Amino acid sequence: MPRRADDRSISRRRLLGAAGATVAASLLPPSAVAAAAAEPAVDYYDKLGVAKIINAAGTYTYLTAAVMAPPVQRAVAMAAHHPVRLKDLQRASGEYIAKRLKCEGAVVSSGASAALTLGTAACVAAKGNLKSNEIPLQARERGYEVIVQKKHRYEYDHAMLICGVTIREVGSLEEYKSAFNERTVMTNYFNSAGPESEPGIIDRETWLKVAHEHGVPCHLDAAADVPPISNLWKYTEMGFDLVCFSGGKGLRGPQNAGLLLGKKRLTDLALENDSPNSDAVGRGMKVAKEQMVGMVAAVDWILEQNDEAIQAESMRRIRTIEAALKGIPTVTTTVNVPPVANHVPHLLIKYDPATVGIKPLEVAAKLRSQKQSIELSPATGVRGRIEGADENTIVVGVWMLQPGEAEIVASSLRQVLKPAKA
Ligand SMILES: *Cc1c(COP(=O)(O)O)cnc(C)c1O
């Protein structure tokens, strides 16, 4: 039925009665919307019976990664009040972030994994002049390849494979140099498995130089590699064509957000393969307006922090926990800072379980099941997951603790370790 001019004259009282609060709220003056937002919210974790935990592990996806920094939380809540044109927001957020992070182009993705997919799709599109609806099928038909070092194969390979490419594995520099052919679309470099942590790995500069000699773009996965904050521009400035970061890790943005940074030509192609375009590999990796704004706010937030303060606060928490463990027999503590990813101090608590009367994995289970549930690092009681840890080591990731929680972790650990035998 055609819309009649007098539809507009529909009385507000009738609308309020019939159409429900959402429609009504959009007709109210902004002050009334603000008042409604100030009403106490329902705590759906409580309502659903889902335990709120203390995260003494780190930015793990299964623990919902970071809690958004307070200004990010506020920006997300405010963005929820109004619709916008999604493409306007994509363009404006990309330009803003690119400027702040000193690169040509930026895309807010639904995470680092999605950024890797969009980056791969961009390189596929660039190579074959393909439209979004031709990916993955044309990439597969043409046998397109991404070159990766053997030691850089990882779980996130899947994020590239869904674009229809295959992965060509190389070991030595010689193998790498001879791996390029007319089907090569991209290379991927797993940043935290660089020469600092993987002996024999091809270093970043050499990797880039060889690829660029062949005119092939390089993607670098730096998902978990902030801090240091300067990593946000270090790798694009080094010459990587595309770099991805997770939004929900050190940047403390929304968990379902991330960044693809790099050459504008490629980030533009990444957007063509992204939501809201439906016939695109990225359609299911939708970023809502709230997360897009939240990611921008997270970039603003992280640029106001500094590495020294982050490290100092981590050390304060570690000293708090160490102090609570004084007098527990056989306990020795050390601090480990992983070289690239999760580059923040972790506390390693090593002891003799036979003397103390409880094993690290049993400590983890106890803290998990107590009323105020605590999650210790998954490196607890496992050899080699973090340097220096083994079956007899508790590992505490203090990075994601919220104010007051280091004290709770400290007293809980003391309670569990102390009554045992000694
Ligand atoms: C966490 C991580 C990802 C995935 O990040 P999301 O933002 O969760 O998609 C990808 N690569 C590496 C190396 C990571 O550590």
The rounded Å distance from CA 224 to ligand 1 centre is 6
366 shares a domain with 288: no
Picking from 249, 276, 302, the residue at the C-terminal end of a domain is 302
145 shares a domain with 230: yes
Locate the DSSP E strands across 140-262. 145-149, 166-170, 184-190, 218-221, 242-246, 258-262
Confidence band for 419, pLDDT divided at 50, 70 and 90 = confident
Confidence band for 30, pLDDT divided at 50, 70 and 90 = low
Does ligand 1 come within 6 angstroms of the Cβ of 224?
yes
Does ligand 1 come within 6 angstroms of the Cβ of 113?
yes
Looking at the CA of residue 192, tell me the nearest atom of ligand 1.
13
Domain of 365, CATH number, reads 3.90.1150.10
The rounded Å distance from CA 331 to ligand 1 centre is 34
The CB-side HSE value for 416 (13 A sphere, CA atoms) comes to 22
Both tokens assigned to 66: 């970071």
278 shares a domain with 211: yes
78 phi, psi to nearest 5 deg:
-70, -40
The total domain count for the chain is: 2
Domain of 258, CATH number, reads 3.40.640.10
Which domain, by its residues, includes 359?
Answer: 307-417
pLDDT tens column, 204-234: 999 999 999 999 999 999 999 999 999 999 9
Looking at the CA of residue 225, tell me the nearest atom of ligand 1.
15
**Of the candidates 233, 151, 159, 161, the residue with the CA atom closest to the CA atom of residue 189:** 151
- Is 1 within a domain? no
- Is 44 within a domain? no
Percentage of the chain surpassing pLDDT 70?
A: 90
The pTM assigned to this predicted structure is 0.90
Percentage of the chain surpassing pLDDT 90?
A: 89
Both tokens assigned to 161: 């494979």
Does ligand 1 come within 6 angstroms of the Cβ of 221?
yes
Does ligand 1 come within 6 angstroms of the Cβ of 254?
no
Residue 148 clears pLDDT 50, i.e. is over it: yes
Query: Out of 11-25, 35-49, 239-253, 263-277, which region has the weakest mean confidence (pLDDT)?
Result: 11-25
263 shares a domain with 353: no
259 shares a domain with 192: yes
114 shares a domain with 228: yes
- Is 31 within a domain? no
The rounded Å distance from CA 341 to ligand 1 centre is 10
β-pair partners for 282 = 274
Q: Whose CA is nearest to atom 11 of ligand 1?
A: 223
292 shares a domain with 204: yes
Residue type (1 letter), 287: V
375 shares a domain with 256: no
